[in-house]
Amino acid sequence: MKLLSRLFSKKSKINKDLFYSVLADDVNKVRNLLSDGADVNARNEQEWTSLMVAASEGYTHIVDVLLNQGADVNAQSSTGETPLMLSARWGHLSIVPMLLIDAGADPSLKNKDGKTALTIAKETGQTEITKLIEAILDRPQTNSTKSNDNVTISESKENNAIDWSKIGKDFYYNEAQALEEEGNYKEAEKGYRLSIENNPKFVAAHNGLGLLLEKQKRHDEAVEVFRKACDVNPENGIAFQNLAFSLINLNRLDEAEEIYKKAMRIAPGHPITESIKSRLLKAKE
């Protein structure tokens, strides 16, 4: 409860529940809470909204639900981060067009460091997202405004003439995710490893493989995979978060604390980063 009160100040319990349901990727509970009156634009002490959390975690279904319920796509955190910036920073390729095309996110907004989503994507080595944002920004502009109708990405692509040929795809990674969801961990692991072999700088594949290993309690192997992810992109906060949790699972608390400090530098105020501190304190009791 102490962590909960730090994350949300002067907010009702239902808004706290919404925030944590988003964090837990529980789309059904998110829908129920919104139906019960939760504020879709409620903020925590770092001025994060639920949409920021969903965008930073790559939860496409929850992003869709929140947007349809009126989530502010251009809301900015205490450090000036928008949902678009967070999805770009954390490498969630599927989220970017949802925010930028379907929801009309403003790509010109800057955080307190004066950086746009495109700048962040470039600086954090998110090559595919950089190509995607550039392709979207290069499309012919129209005078039409966003309607309230549900517009699919494929429809938006057709209407706005995006050159999708510029955007690469990673079929090994996508297949690995599908296999993991089916519970076929052996084949999923092969897929992640093929994805990394195909593109050694694809941090999402490293993170995916590490999390798969964690599910199987192969903590030592997971640590090595997450370390490689951190080496590939030292600004990828998810990799540092994952590494910290794996080190905690191995009771290597001093190392975990050092990694936590790096995660805090990269993503101050991120709920997952905050939860690492809670896990560390509990492990040291």
Residue ranges making up the domain that contains 276: 171-284
**Domain check: are 207 and 180 in the same one?**
yes
**Domain check: are 194 and 125 in the same one?**
no
pLDDT tens series, the chain, 285 aa: 334 444 444 457 888 889 888 988 888 999 999 998 899 999 887 889 999 999 988 888 899 999 999 999 999 998 999 999 999 988 888 889 889 888 999 999 999 999 999 999 998 888 888 988 988 887 655 443 343 334 333 344 344 444 444 444 456 777 787 788 888 999 889 988 988 888 888 888 898 899 999 999 999 999 999 999 999 888 888 889 899 999 999 999 999 999 999 888 877 767 777 788 888 888 887
**Domain check: are 237 and 123 in the same one?**
no
**Domain check: are 26 and 76 in the same one?**
yes
* DSSP 8-state assignment for residue 193: H
**Domain check: are 8 and 132 in the same one?**
yes
**Domain check: are 15 and 153 in the same one?**
yes
Q: Which of 147, 166, 185 is the last residue of a domain?
A: 166
Go through 23-53 and write b for each residue having 16 or more CB atoms within 10 A of its CB, e for each that does not. Answer: beebbeebbebbeeebbbebbbebebbbbbb
Q: Which of 166, 190, 223 is the last residue of a domain?
A: 166
**Domain check: are 201 and 260 in the same one?**
yes
Our count of domains for the chain comes to 2
Go through 204-226 and write b for each residue having 16 or more CB atoms within 10 A of its CB, e for each that does not. Answer: bbbbbbbbbbbeeeebebbbebb
**Domain check: are 125 and 193 in the same one?**
no
**Domain check: are 139 and 254 in the same one?**
no
CATH at residue 225: 1.25.40.10
**Domain check: are 60 and 186 in the same one?**
no
Count of CB atoms situated within 10 Å of the CB of 77: 22
